[in-house]
């Protein structure tokens, strides 16, 4: 079952939770103090991009990767994207491991959705069997 949950958790998410009080989180408060509400908006653009990716990670190893991220974040340069990512890592909103950007929170959201998807499949299969 764990393999099935992991497999389903890896799929792109159509939506993910956004807590109504997310801006009050100490990490987000630091983000807003440093980059303003535009930076906070960029954080959520990045979250949307993470959610949309298979396995919820974004490559961030090469100059081309940084340029791609700059486009996602709507910033002027790869160096600006790198500065933003570095800050997000420093406050604990992102990690970069093996050249891939990840968010612990997004991974937790994906895992929860994977468990729900597995439970939904099991629930649906029991109903289908009962109708036979």
* Nearest 10 degrees: Cα torsion 63, 67, 69, 75: 130
Domains of the chain by residue range: 2-11+19-131
> Residue 5 is encoded by which pair of tokens?
């949950």
Going residue by residue through the chain, which has 132 residues, state the pLDDT in tens, using 9 for 90 and above: 678 877 877 777 776 666 777 888 899 999 999 999 999 999 999 999 999 888 989 999 999 999 999 999 999 999 999 999 999 999 999 999 999 999 998 888 778 877 887 887 777 555 545 444
Report the CATH fold assignment for 2-11+19-131: Arc Repressor Mutant, subunit A (1.10.10)
d(CA 41, CA 11): 24
């Amino acid at each position: 079952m764990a393999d099935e949950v992991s497999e389903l958790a890896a799929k792109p998410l159509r939506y993910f939770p956004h807590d109504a009080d997310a801006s009050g989180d100490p990490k987000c408060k630091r983000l807003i103090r440093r980059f303003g509400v535009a930076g906070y908006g960029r954080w959520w653009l990045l979250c949307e991009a993470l959610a949309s990716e298979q396995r919820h990670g974004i490559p961030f190893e090469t100059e081309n990767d940084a340029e791609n991220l700059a486009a996602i974040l709507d910033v002027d340069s790869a160096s600006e994207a790198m500065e933003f990512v570095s800050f997000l890592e420093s406050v604990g909103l992102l990690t970069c491991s093996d050249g891939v950007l990840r968010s612990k929170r997004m991974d937790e959201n994906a895992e929860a959705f994977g468990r729900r998807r597995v439970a939904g499949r099991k629930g649906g299969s029991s109903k289908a069997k009962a109708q036979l």
